[in-house]
Structure 1
Amino acid sequence: MKKSQRGQSEQVIRTRLLQAIFEQRMPPGARLTEEALAATFDVSRTTIRQVIARLAQDGILVKLSTGATHVAAPSRREAQQLLVVRRMIEPEIVKILAENAATLSFTELSAHLALEDRARRAGDRGTLVRLTGEFHLQLAQLTGNKVLIRLMTELQALVCLAILLYASGDDACPPDEHRKIVTAIKKKDGSSAAAMMLHHLDHIERDLRLDDKPTVEISEALTWLGQRQRTSAGS
């Protein structure tokens, strides 16, 4: 096998780690080691070290003074602060999209909503959680604003970790809330879209609670990542 066919780029590894978080396979507070990740992705520890540094810079991973690296575990207060920032940003995102609705393509967003519906009907909670999180990222991507996209990626990953820690329900994104927001955007009704987004974020916050604990293990996440790696290498 050629060297170029082995391993993954830093961007791909970062994306897959984020996907593991979005699907709630990567438990908050779990310790990650360079050795385990390097073996999982078939790359050097130097590559993994760079990925960890970037995710730590984004606040998604936490590097301790001892040198250990852990998945972030937002406190209740931090989760509330994250949602405060999202309330400031996301209503403005949908307003911008509504103002420019005539020039935008909603094909990918409509396809994404169909995937959410499919995952919900199948009872695939992990995929549904990832997709409902990615919906918010897709809205940011439609603006074409790279700063917003980076910020929303960080915020969404941390909120997913907070949901895994504290959510009391199985679905913080009830059916049709996303679709109603998109419909308002398409109708160029920015005010309604913004109000719906605020209601949606309020729903997410109400679903958070302190007494839930993560039930997944880091070994499960590494197994899942390894399976994805082998599937990718064989394709």
Structure 2
Amino acid sequence: MASPSLKSPAGRRLVLDVANSSGLEDWAPDLQKTKVYERILLDLILGELPAGARLDEQSLAAHYDTGLAGVRDALGRLALEGLVIRRARSGTTVAPLDLVELRQGYEARVLIEPHCAQLAAKNASKAEAQAMYDVFADGEEAARTCDLPALVAMDLRFHAAVARASGNLALARILIPLQHKAARFWVFSFNGASEQELLDEIEEHRQVARIIASGDAEGSRRAMLRILDVQPEADARP
């Protein structure tokens, strides 16, 4: 089956789209707590808030120009994802970078995310498939300037869109936090990456969107495995 034509619109504003990707209706994109959550999440992933750092609620409220209630809600959500640790009386700290947890999370993603891509090929609407592709509308510019925040946001939005398009909310709710944790390590791969390497990575993700749009479930599963650096079984045969 031929892939539909997917075109990138110019100038689309990048957001993490956490409300839609998580399926949590009380985290609508226009809510202040959602905006604060997304900003803190991105800073955690980028290392602006480093592992082990103590997070003072009042300082965060001042830094992100918001109220304490929004900060507390955001930290509560991040604690549920395991990205921060909250302890009574001792406060909140950024969770450590745990290599064992990374390996276990990666193993879980290898099992779950290709299946989500497979389901997305069966269940995604045309609009959802287009949305996956549109995530990288500004990909070339981000790669040219090595705009790390933009590239991270694009990657998170893409994988969240695939999870959402699977139509299985239970899987999406498991997968999104795993992706957020993995992104804290993934950013280190940008060190020394050339513009062409970044462009190749973007094209791999766009190809997944094209295959999902075509309705090829098995092809979508294999394409997602390649993004996760796992060689599909059929490709591994001599």
Question: TM-score normalised to the size of structure 2?
Answer: 0.70
Partner Cα separation in structure 1 for residue 36 and residue 103 of structure 2 = 29
Alignment of 1:31-70 (within 5 A): 31-64=54-87, 67-70=90-93
How many Å apart are 1:73 and its aligned residue?
2.4
SS of the residue aligned with 1:70? strand
SS of the residue aligned with 1:174? helix
Preserved contact between residue 104 and residue 142 of structure 1 (Cα < 8 Å): no
How many Å apart are 1:202 and its aligned residue?
2.3
Which consecutive aligned stretches of 4+ in structure 1 deviate over 4 angstroms post-superposition?
Answer: 164-169
Out of 93, 96, 112, the residue aligned to residue 73 of structure 1 is 96
Compared CA separation, residues 197 and 175, structure 1 to 2 (3 A):
same
SS of the residue aligned with 1:176? helix
For 2:105, the equivalent position in structure 1 comes to 82
Compared CA separation, residues 149 and 112, structure 1 to 2 (3 A):
same
Alignment of 1:5-44 (within 5 A): 9-44=32-67
How many Å apart are 1:45 and its aligned residue?
3.1
Structure 2 unaligned regions, length at least 5: 1-30, 231-238
1:30-75 Cα deviation digits (max 9, x unpaired): 2211121121234443442332122112211112465232222231
Partner Cα separation in structure 2 for residue 191 and residue 93 of structure 1 = 11
Query: Amino acid of the residue matched to residue 163 of structure 1?
Result: W
Partner Cα separation in structure 2 for residue 167 and residue 122 of structure 1 = 12
How many Å apart are 1:23 and its aligned residue?
4.6
For 1:127, the equivalent position in structure 2 comes to 150
**Structure 1 or 2: more helix by fraction:** 1
Compared CA separation, residues 52 and 116, structure 1 to 2 (3 A):
same
Partner Cα separation in structure 2 for residue 49 and residue 94 of structure 1 = 34
**1:104 and 2:133 correspond:** no
How many Å apart are 1:144 and its aligned residue?
4.2
Out of 158, 180, 189, the residue aligned to residue 157 of structure 1 is 180
Question: TM-score normalised to the size of structure 1?
Answer: 0.71
Partner Cα separation in structure 2 for residue 169 and residue 86 of structure 1 = 26
Out of 171, 174, 186, the residue aligned to residue 201 of structure 2 is 174
For 2:220, the equivalent position in structure 1 comes to 193
Partner Cα separation in structure 1 for residue 190 and residue 145 of structure 2 = 21
Structure 1 unaligned regions, length at least 5: 1-7, 204-235
Query: Amino acid of the residue matched to residue 63 of structure 1?
Result: R
Partner Cα separation in structure 1 for residue 206 and residue 70 of structure 2 = 39
Percent of matched pairs sharing the same residue? 28
Partner Cα separation in structure 2 for residue 124 and residue 41 of structure 1 = 21
1:187-219 Cα deviation digits (max 9, x unpaired): 22221221221121127xxxxxxxxxxxxxxxx
